[in-house]
Amino acid sequence: MFLTRLRINPARRGARKLLSSPHAMHAAVRAAFAVAEDHERNGSRTLWRLDTPATATVHLYVVSPGRPDLTHLVEQAGWPTTEAWVTRDYDGLLASLRSGQEWAFRLTANPTHNGRKTSDAKETQRFGYLREEEQVGWLTSRAARNGFALATQQDGRPNLRLHRRQTQTFRRGMGTVTLTTVTYDGILRVTDADTFRQAMTSGIGHAKAYGCGLLTLAPAG
């Protein structure tokens, strides 16, 4: 597995198009792999996420089974004459994971639940959670099945900060997609290293093609 970071230039027209449409960004990320196995392999898939660490600074992170070639993205939406992308081996970190470790983490996810649009509707649909307490509950309920537990604060609440809470609508083919997303920053403890490793390489929740599901780690200190 590989972890790649590319700095996006939001002043460019191509960048604005990609940043406004997760469907367009998904297609651009998919085009970084000439071989299908480099995009998805043995239960691991390509995941991506957009981070905004500062005003007018946007980073694209990609975790993938194979090494990507982001030349087309640099030319379309990056800094072609001054900056390319950085790709690092990810297997070392994955192999080092052990139960009991604590990590700071970031996850952009699509917190959803199934329900009926009207009381007499026959089929269920997927709806995004909009309230912060519901979004916290969504992640809390999925932690154990993904091999981790959320650290708690002195008041007993999860050690989490939620930001970039938004609902986007964008075109996909002849139709439109409405997507609710939230970025979680917090502290976790690994409870099952194998399960947690799988979550990091296959993603958490729905809408993985649209920039959701990628969980990344940093030292908890």
C-alpha dist (Å) from residue 155 to 142, 158, 159: 21, 9, 10
Judge contact between 178 and 169, C-beta under 8 A.
yes
At residue 118, the pLDDT reads 57
pTM exceeds 0.75 for this model: yes
At residue 122, the pLDDT reads 62
At residue 43, the pLDDT reads 82
Determine the Cα–Cα distance for residues 89 and 100; give it in Å rounded to an integer. Answer: 23
At residue 173, the pLDDT reads 79
At residue 126, the pLDDT reads 80
Q: What is the pLDDT of residues 191-200, one digit of tens each?
A: 999 999 999 9
- In degrees rounded to 5, what are phi and psi of residue 200? -70, -25
At residue 155, the pLDDT reads 87
User: Pairing state of beta strands 125-128 and 112-115?
Assistant: antiparallel
Determine the Cα–Cα distance for residues 203 and 48; give it in Å rounded to an integer. Answer: 10
At residue 174, the pLDDT reads 80
At residue 54, the pLDDT reads 81
At residue 46, the pLDDT reads 97
Residues in the chain predicted with pLDDT less than 50, given as ranges, are: none
CB count in 10 Å sphere of residue 118: 6
